[in-house]
């Protein structure tokens, strides 16, 4: 029962954070919520009894990919609404 | 118009994915001869207690070689694209 | 761009634990969950934590790009050499030529459910270490090259 509740909460958090990645206009916020998405995904994979995948997802998805995104955001210039589109 | 088309495309795509997933039975793969063989004989054939590592490094060693090659190619590409910038930074004057 | 001293102290405290955990995952890859790829990624995450916490100049002085490149090449060479020696030993490519020989990693395994012995697995721990070095070097080189490509004032 308690495992079911935890799984439902994790899956809802996954959908919510994936929606937030799409929703945020600020790239840094989107990158951070992508890190949250990766962390929740690794938790879900751990609940499904695949600790190998969980370790890989936690370190690569939540650690390295977020760092790559943040470095790339720092390297590029911000385009405001008036310039773009 | 374009937005409506996008939403229709997203809806159709999600519906097709969910329809495919709805027919699946969880935790019951149809073809499991290879799995049964590896679980039964993996420990004596490879000497590793962790069957996942036994599969990755012994039964499917070629795949791991390909993975390492992919990683090396990624590093090569990054180095080729960003090399000039990094080399310029060597003479970059700090204040 | 230096992060706050809280972040730097936290990174310094976390760094040895991350390194020990990563090397544990690599070395015990044939006994516990994990393996070369996961352990290498964890060690690379430790380096990335250091790169995020400290400023550009300190990273440029302390961490050598050449060293990480050499680590990656060493891992790849060790991987392919270990696979090629199997051909010399008369087995197939990637054959397990150390299994049951009694020497390094060659203790015969006790079958069934057992707590496990580090000195088993034949060639698998060597391949684990090789892939661990490869992934550690590759990920760190990618992040470090990207960091160096970013201007300090950008």
CB-closest option in A51, A63, A75 to C154: A75
Q: pLDDT at residue C96 above 50?
A: yes
Query: Which chain A residues have a beta carbon less than 8 Å from that of C48?
Result: 63-64, 67
CB contact under 8 A, C38 and A52: yes
CB-closest option in C33, C45, C149 to A63: C45
Residue ranges covered by each domain of chain C: 5-149
Per-range mean pLDDT, top range of B30-34, B45-49, C68-72? C68-72
Query: Band of the pLDDT at A83, cuts 50, 70, 90?
Result: low
pLDDT tens for B81-94 read 887 655 555 555 44
CB contact under 8 A, C150 and A64: no
The whole-number average pLDDT for the span C13-32 is 91
What token pair was written down for A83? 């310039």
Q: pLDDT at residue C78 above 50?
A: yes
pLDDT tens for B23-41 read 777 777 778 888 889 888 8
* C111–chain B Cβ distance below 8 A for any pair: yes
Helices (H), C28-108: 36-53, 56-62, 65-88
State the Cα–Cα distance between residues C128 and A31, nearest whole angstrom.
31
Place of tokens 């995020």: C52
Place of tokens 């049951």: C100
Distance from CA of C88 to the nearest CA of A (A): 32
């Amino acid at each position: 029962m308690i495992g079911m509740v935890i799984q439902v909460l994790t899956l809802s958090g996954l959908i919510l954070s994936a929606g937030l990645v799409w929703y945020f206009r600020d790239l840094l916020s989107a990158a951070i919520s992508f890190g949250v998405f990766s962390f929740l995904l690794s938790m879900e994979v751990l609940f499904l009894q695949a600790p190998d995948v969980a370790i890989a997802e936690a370190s690569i998805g939540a650690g390295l990919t977020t760092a790559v995104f943040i470095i790339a955001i720092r390297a590029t210039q911000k385009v405001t609404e008036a310039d773009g589109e | 118009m374009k937005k409506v088309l996008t939403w229709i495309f997203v809806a159709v795509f999600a519906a097709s994915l969910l329809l495919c997933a709805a027919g699946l039975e969880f935790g019951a793969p149809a073809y499991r001869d290879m799995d049964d063989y590896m679980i039964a004989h993996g420990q004596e054939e490879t000497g590793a207690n962790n069957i996942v590592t036994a599969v990755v490094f012994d039964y499917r060693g070629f795949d791991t070689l390909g993975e390492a090659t992919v990683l090396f190619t990624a590093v090569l590409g990054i180095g080729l694209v960003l090399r000039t910038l990094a080399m310029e930074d060597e003479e970059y004057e700090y204040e | 761009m230096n992060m706050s001293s809280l972040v730097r102290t936290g990174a310094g405290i976390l760094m040895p634990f991350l390194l020990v955990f990563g090397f544990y995952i690599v070395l015990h890859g044939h006994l516990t969950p994990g393996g070369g790829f996961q352990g290498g990624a964890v060690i690379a995450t430790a380096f990335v934590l250091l790169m995020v916490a400290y400023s550009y100049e300190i990273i440029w002085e302390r961490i050598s790009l050449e060293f990480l490149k050499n680590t990656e090449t060493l891992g790849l060479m060790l991987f392919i050499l270990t696979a090629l020696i199997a051909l010399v030993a008369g087995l197939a490519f990637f054959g397990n030529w150390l299994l049951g020989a009694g020497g390094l990693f060659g203790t015969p395994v006790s079958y069934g459910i057992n707590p496990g012995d580090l000195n088993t697995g034949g060639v698998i721990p060597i391949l684990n270490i090789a892939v661990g070095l490869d992934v550690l070097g590759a990920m760190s080189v990618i992040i470090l090259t990207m960091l160096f490509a970013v201007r300090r004032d950008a």
